[in-house]
Chain A
Amino acid sequence: MKRLLLVVLPLALASGGCSLIGTGEGQSAAPEPEPGASPGTVVLVTHESFALPKKLLRQFEDESGLDLEVRAAGDAGELTTKLAVTSDHPIGDAAFGVDNTFASRALDEDVFDSLDVALPAGVEEYVVPADGGERLAPVDVGHVCVNVDTTWFAERDLAPPASLDDLADPAYEGLFVTPSALSSSPGLAFLLTTVAAYGDQWPAYWEDLLANDTLIVDGWTDAYYGDFTQGGEGGERPVVLSYDSSPAFTVPKGSDRSSTAALLDTCSRQVEYAGVLAGAANPDGARQLVEFLLSPEVQAALPTSMYVFPVRDDVELPDDWAEFAEQPADPYVVDPDEIAANRDTWLQEWRDLVTR
C-alpha cells in the first residue's frame, strides 16, 4: 500500500500544483520583485554575451542605492527585435547591446528615449551618425577580422594571406572558413566588410571566394572551434573569420607569441550601444546605468569581461591585450543608414549567391 501512495501522491501534487500557474506564484526560484513595482530597481535588458565583474555591479548598486536586475538573453539581433516589438511596454529600463548593424531598427521603432548623458572624451567617434549620440551611447568597440594560424603557414614555409584579395587567390584555395551572414553577427559583419571594400562589385568578390572553395558554416563557434586549425577539434582550415582580440586567446603556455594573428586590413568595426528605453519605469535609474557603463571602471573591465575594446581613450588595456590584440588603424565602416536601407537586399543577394 505504501507503494500505492507513492503513485497517488505525486499525481495529486501535480494536479493540485497546476492551479499555481493561475495565481502566478513562483515555484522554481526565489520570489522576485515585480518589474517597475519598486522605484529602487533598475532593469537592464541585454544580450547573452553581457558580462561584467560582480564586484563592479555591486559597486553600482551601493553607490546609486538601486537594485540592478540584468535580463540577458539572445544575440544582438534578438535583443533589438525584442525591444522593437515591445516598444509600447518596454521589458526594462535601459538596454545595452544593440550594435551598429541593428541600430537603425531600434531608432526607427522609437525604442529609445533621449539620453541626456554627457559622453566622455573619445566616444564621439563611435556615435550613430543619424543620431549623434542623442539616444544611443557607444559603450564598446570590436573588430571582426580574418584570422590566420601563423604556425600552420610557418610549418609550410608559406606566406599567410594579408588582404581580402588574397582570400580569393588560388594559392590559398580551400583554406578559409567563415560563418554565414544569415545566422551569425560576425558573418554579417564580414559581408558588410566586403560591401565596404568592393562597393557594387561585392557579389563578384564573393563568387571568387566561393570558387576558391571558401567554407560557409552556421556560426562563429562552428567556424572557429570546428574548422579552424587552432580551434582544438582538428579543423583543417588555417584561415577563419573571428575578432581582432582572438589572438590574445591563443598564446600557448610558456610562450610569448600567439599562434594566430588577425589580418588588420580585413576588419570592419562593430560598435555596441546603450540607451534609456522609452516608457521606462525608472528613467533616472536607467540614465545612471548608462553613465555607469561609460565610467572608467567599466570601460577598463570590458576587454576581460566581454572581449571588446573600450570606447574611452583614457583607460588602459590589460597586458595580454596590449601585447597580442592589435586594433586595426583604419577598419571598414558602413554607415548604419546605408545598412538599414540595404540590409535586406544584400542578405537576399548573398543568400542566392551562396545557396545557388
Chain B
Amino acid sequence: MNRRLLGLLALALVPVVVLGVFFVLPVSGMLALGLRPDGVLDPGAVVEVLTRSRTGRVLGFTLWSAAAATACAVVLGLPAAYVLHRTTFPLRRVLRAALLVPFVLPTVVVGVAFRQLLRDGGPLGVLGLDGTPVAIVLGLVFFNVAVVVRVVGGAWEALDGRAGQAAATLGASPAQVFRTVTVPALRPAIVSAATVVFLFCATAFGIVLTLGGTRYATVETEIYLLTVQVFDLPAAAALSILQLVVVVGLLVLAQRARAVAPVPRAPARPRRLGRSDGVPVAVTLLLLAFVAIPIGSLVAGSLRVDDGWSLANYAALGTTGDREALQVTVTQALANSLRTAVDATWMAVGTGLLVAVVVTRRSRTAAERRVRGALDGFFMLPLGVSAVTLGFGLLITLDEPPLDLRDSPLLVPVAQALVALPLVVRTLVPVLSGIDDRQRQAAASLGAGPLRSVLTVDLPVLWKPLLAGAGFAFAASLGEFGATSFLAREDFPTLPLVIFRLLGHPGELNYGMALAASVLLASTTAVVMLLVERLRVASVGAF
C-alpha cells in the first residue's frame, strides 16, 4: 500500500459507506426477511419461484422491453446529441433544456396523455397501439431519451475535433469519419448512457402498468405484486435476487464494452448547421415532435375548464384543492421539492465526483483495475434494484441506534441522491477517463501540487460535465416519485406526490390542478436547466 492508493481509498470511503448504509443494508435486510422467514434459509423456495414458467415470461418481457426502448433511445438520441451539443443555432439551449422535461414528468400524467393519443378515436388511434408492448416501449423512450442526449452530448462537446478533420482532409466521407473516428471516441459515453437507460427501463413501474393496462408484467411490477398484494415475501426475494444477478451481469458486460484507450480532448468550437447535417437534423426534429406532442396535450388539458380556455387551474395552485384534497398548497409543495432537490443534488454531485475520480485514475495493476471496475458497477446498482425491496428494507433495517434513520428528514434527499448518483457518475466518467494521465504528470513535474494539478488539468475539462451532471441530478430529484412516495412525510410532500394525490381525488378542479401542477413541474425543470446552461457558457471564459 502506498500513499497514492491510500489516498484513493480515503476518497472512496464516503461514497461506499453511504451506499452501504442506505442501499446494501436495507436490500439485504429485506432479502433476508424473505429468504429466512423463520430463521432458516430455504433455498428450495427460491428455486421453486425461479423455475415457474411465469417467472421466465416476466423476465423475458422485462429484458425485451428494456432492450427495445434502449435501442430506440440511442438511435434517436445520438443525432440529437450531435445537433444540440455540437452545432450552433438559435434556441439551441432552450431545446436542450426542454428535452429534459419528460424525465421529470409524473408517469401517471404522461400515461394518461399517451393513452389519449393512442386509444381508439384518439389522434393516433388508427395505429392500434393502445395497451400494446409498443406503447410501453414508446413511453419508456419518451422518459429516458434525455439521458442519451445529455450523457453523449456532454462527451461529444468535449471531443477533440481535429482527428475527424484530419480524416476528412485525407479523403474520408462524413459517414466514414463518423464511423471510424467519432463513434469509437464516443463509445464509452454511448455505453454509459445505454446502461443507465436500460436500468431505468428494466425497473420502470408506473409506465408499464399505465400503458400496458396491467396486461404485461415486468420483474419490477411482479415484485410489487408479490410483496404488497400477495405478501409472498420469499417469492419477492427470489425475484429480487434474479434482478440483482441480471443487473450485475449487465454491468460487467457494459464495463467491458466501455473500456477504451483515453482519447485526447480539446473542446471544439460548435459549428453552424450545414447541408451535410440533414439526417441528424431530421431525426432531432422527429424526436422533438415525439416529446412535444404528449407535453402539448398536457398543457392544453391544463388550460381547459368547462369546455373553455381558462387559467383557473393555475390560479388554484395556491390552494389546497377542491374540498381540501391536499395538506399543503401546490406552491408550497414546489418549494419543498426545490429544497429537497438542492440537498439531493449536492449529495449526488459530491459523492459522484469522488466516485468518478476514484474509478478513472489509471490503475497500475490488474487487481487494482478490477477493484475500480467493481466500485464503478457498485454505484450503478441502485438503478437496477427494485424500489419496493429497497423501500421496505429501509424500514426494517434503519430502525435501531446508531442507524435509527427511518424517520429522518434526510432520508428523502438521500434516496433521491442514490437515484441521481449514477447519472452524475456516468456523465463525469467518460470525460475524466479521457484526460491523459501524462498531462497530470507533466503538471506535477513542472512543480504543481496535487490540488493545483486538479485545478489546471482536470477542472477545465470537468467543469461543464460537472454542471451538466448537477443539473441532471437536480432534475432526477425533482421528478423522483417511487422512493419519495414511500418515505416522504405528510407535512413535507414534494410536487410529484401532490400531483399524484390530486389525481387520486375526485373533482374536476383537482384533476385540472394536477395537470397544471405537472406543467409547473415541467417548466420549473426547464428553467433550472436553462440557468445551468447559462452558467456553463459564462464559465468557459474563466479558463
- A17 & B347 in contact (Cβ 8 Å cutoff): yes
B33 within 8 A of A: yes
* Distance, CA A236 to CA B30, complexed state (A): 43
Q: Which residue of A lies closest to B406 (CB)?
A: A91
Cβ of A105 within 8 Å of any chain B Cβ, yes or no, is yes
Interface pair A24/B485, CB less than 8 Å apart: no
A157 within 8 A of B: no
A74/B485 in contact, CB under 8 A: yes
Instruction: Determine if A246 is an interface residue (Cβ-Cβ < 8 Å).
Output: yes
Pairwise interchain contact A233-B490, C-beta atoms closer than 8 A = no
B506 touches A307 (CB 8 A): yes
The interface residues of chain B lying within 8 Å CB-to-CB of A354 are 214-215
Out of A219, A249, A344, name the residue touching B506 (CB < 8 Å). Answer: A249
A246 to B510 Cα, complex, angstroms: 14
* CB atoms of B506 and A246 under 8 A apart: yes
**In the complex, which residues of chain B have a beta carbon less than 8 angstroms from the beta carbon of A8?**
455
Q: Mark A76-96, 1 if CB is under 8 A from B, else 0.
A: 011001101110010100000
Tell whether B267 is near chain A: CB-to-CB under 8 Å: no
Q: How far is the CA of A15 from the CA of B356 in the complex (A)?
A: 13
Chain B residues closer than 8 Å to A245, beta-carbon distance? 506
Interface residue stretch chosen among A26-34, A59-67, A265-273, A290-298: A26-34
Bound: A48/B343 CA distance, A: 24
Give the size category of B's interface with A: 35 or more
Expressed in whole angstroms, the Cα–Cα distance for A187 and B125 within the complex equals: 26
A244 to chain B, nearest CB (A): 12
**Distance of B35 from chain A, by nearest CB (Å):** 14
Q: With both chains docked as a complex, state the minimum distance between the C-beta of B117 and any C-beta of chain A, in angstroms.
A: 11
CB-nearest residue of chain A to B467? A7
Evaluate contact between A343 and B230: CB separation under 8 angstroms.
yes
In contact, B485 and A14 (Cβ under 8 angstroms):
no
In the complex, how many angstroms separate the beta carbon of B16 from the nearest chain A beta carbon?
12
Specify which chain B residues have a CB less than 8 angstroms from the CB of A154 in the assembled complex: none
Instruction: Assess the B407–A18 pair: CB atoms within 8 A.
Output: no
**Residue A282 interfacial (CB < 8 Å):** no
Most buried by B among A4, A188, A226, A305: A226
A355 within 8 A of B: yes
Complex contacts, B368 vs chain A, CB 8 Å:
none
Q: A222 and B112: CB pair below 8 A? A: yes
**Are B213 and A19 in touch, CB under 8 angstroms?**
no
- Using an 8 Å CB-CB cutoff, how does the interface string of B219-262 with A read, 1 for contact, 0 for none? 00100110111111100000000000000000000000000000
* A217 surroundings in chain B (CB, below 8 A): 210, 213-214
A265 → B minimal CB distance (Å)? 22
Cβ–Cβ contact A4 & B542, under 8 A: yes
Choice from B209, B324, B539 contacting A51 with Cβ under 8 Å: B324
Chain B residues with CB under 8 Å of A81's CB are: 227-228, 231, 392
CB distance from A346 to the nearest CB of B (A): 11
Tell me which residues across on chain B come within 8 A of A231, comparing CB atoms.
511
In the complex, how many angstroms separate the beta carbon of A342 from the nearest chain B beta carbon? Answer: 12
Nearest B residue to A247 via CB reads: B506
Q: Nearest Cβ distance between residue B450 and chain A, in whole angstroms?
A: 14
- B232–A344 CB distance below 8 A: yes
Q: Does A347 contact B (CB under 8 A)?
A: yes
Q: Is the CB of B278 closer than 8 A to any CB of chain A? A: no
Interface string of A221-243 (1 = CB under 8 A from B): 11011110001111010000011
**B50 at interface by CB-CB < 8 Å:** no
Of residues 456 to 493 in B, which have CB atoms within 8 Å of A's CB atoms? 459, 463, 485-492
Of B159-167, B268-276, B393-401, the segment with at least 4 beta carbons within 8 Å of chain A is B393-401
Are B486 and A74 interface neighbours, CB within 8 A? yes
| Residues of B407-443 contacting chain A, CB below 8 A | 407-410, 412-414
Least CB distance from A338 to B in Å reads: 16
Asked whether any CB of chain B lies closer than 8 Å to the CB of A3, the reply is yes
As a 0/1 sequence over residues 170 to 204 of chain A, the CB contacts with chain B under 8 angstroms (1 = contact) are 00000000001011000010000000000000000
B332 CB within 8 Å of chain A: no
Assess whether B463 is in contact with A7, with CB atoms less than 8 Å apart.
yes
By a CB distance below 8 angstroms, the chain A residues around B233 are 85
- Whether, in the assembled complex, B93 has its beta carbon less than 8 Å from a beta carbon of chain A, the answer is no
Which of the residues A15, A220, A224 comes within 8 Å of B353, measured between beta carbons?
Answer: A15
- B350 engages A15 (CB within 8 Å): yes
CA distance A188 to B229 in the complex (A): 10
Contact in complex: B14, A182 (CB < 8 Å)? no
Q: Which of these, A10, A13, A28, contacts B339 with CB under 8 Å? A: A28
Minimal Cβ-Cβ distance residue in B for A3? B542
User: A257 on the interface (CB 8 Å rule)?
Assistant: no
* Shortest distance between the CB of B316 and any CB in chain A (Å): 15
* Residues of chain A within 8 A of B408, CB atoms compared: 24, 26, 32
Q: What A residues does B491 contact at CB under 8 A?
A: 70
Contacts of B293 in A (CB 8 A): none
Cα-based distance from A354 to B212 in the complex (angstroms): 12
State whether the Cβ of A215 lies closer than 8 Å to any Cβ in chain B.
yes
Query: Nearest CB to that of A7 among chain B residues?
Result: B463
Which among B209, B349, B354, B459 has the greatest number of chain A C-beta atoms within 10 A? B209
Q: Is the Cβ of A29 less than 8 Å from the Cβ of B409?
A: yes
Instruction: State whether B346 touches A32 (Cβ < 8 A).
Output: no
Q: Mark A276-320, 1 if CB is under 8 A from B, else 0.
A: 000000000000000000000000000011010000000000000
Is the beta-carbon distance between B350 and A11 smaller than 8 angstroms? yes
Asked whether B413 lies within 8 Å of A7 as measured between CB atoms, the reply is no
Q: Does B277 sit within 8 A of A, measured CB to CB?
A: no
Instruction: Give the distance in Å from the alpha carbon of A6 to the alpha carbon of B466 in the complex.
Output: 13
Return chain A residues, CB-CB under 8 Å to B209: 180, 183, 218-219
Contact of B407 among A14, A32, A77, A218 (CB under 8 A): A32
B interface footprint on A306-348 (CB within 8 Å = 1, 0 otherwise):
0100000000000000000000000000000000000110010
The verdict on B62 contacting chain A, using a C-beta distance below 8 Å, is no
> Is A38 engaged at the interface, CB distance under 8 Å to the other chain?
no
A27 pairs with B410, CB closer than 8 A: yes
B218 at interface (Cβ–Cβ under 8 A)? no
> What's the minimum C-beta distance from B481 to chain A, rounded to whole angstroms?
12
User: How would residues 374 to 415 of chain B score, 1 for a CB under 8 Å from any chain A CB and 0 otherwise?
Assistant: 000000000000000000100110011000111111101110
* Bound form: Cα–Cα A231–B232 in Å: 36
| Cβ–Cβ contact B343 & A27, under 8 A | yes
Q: B395 touches which one: A6, A10, A85, A344 (CB < 8 A)?
A: A85
- A21 CB-CB contact with B under 8 Å: yes
Are A73 and B227 touching (Cβ within 8 A)?
no
In the complex, residue of chain A having the shortest beta-carbon distance to the beta carbon of B297:
A233
Task: Compute how far the CA of A246 lies from the CA of B505 in the bound complex, rounded to whole angstroms.
Answer: 10
Q: Are B409 and A32 in contact (CB under 8 A)?
A: yes
Instruction: Say yes or no for A35: interface residue by CB 8 A criterion.
Output: yes
**Contact residues, B251-309 vs A (CB, 8 A):** 301, 306
**Which chain A residues border B224 with CB–CB below 8 Å?**
183
* A49 sits at the interface (CB 8 A): yes
User: In the complex, are the beta carbons of B231 and A27 less than 8 A apart?
Assistant: no
Chain A CB within 8 A of B4 CB: no
Within 8 A of A (CB), among B318-362: 323-325, 327, 339-340, 343, 346-347, 349-351, 353-354
Given contacts A21-B21, A28-B413, A307-B506, 14 further A-B contacts (CB under 8 A): A7-B459, A8-B455, A18-B350, A21-B410, A21-B414, A28-B339, A32-B408, A48-B485, A72-B490, A85-B30, A231-B511, A233-B112, A246-B506, A304-B323
- 7 example contacts (A-B, Cβ-Cβ < 8 A) are as follows A7-B539, A26-B408, A73-B488, A82-B392, A86-B396, A219-B108, A233-B511
6 nearest CB pairs, A to B: A14-B350, A180-B214, A3-B542, A249-B506, A29-B409, A218-B209
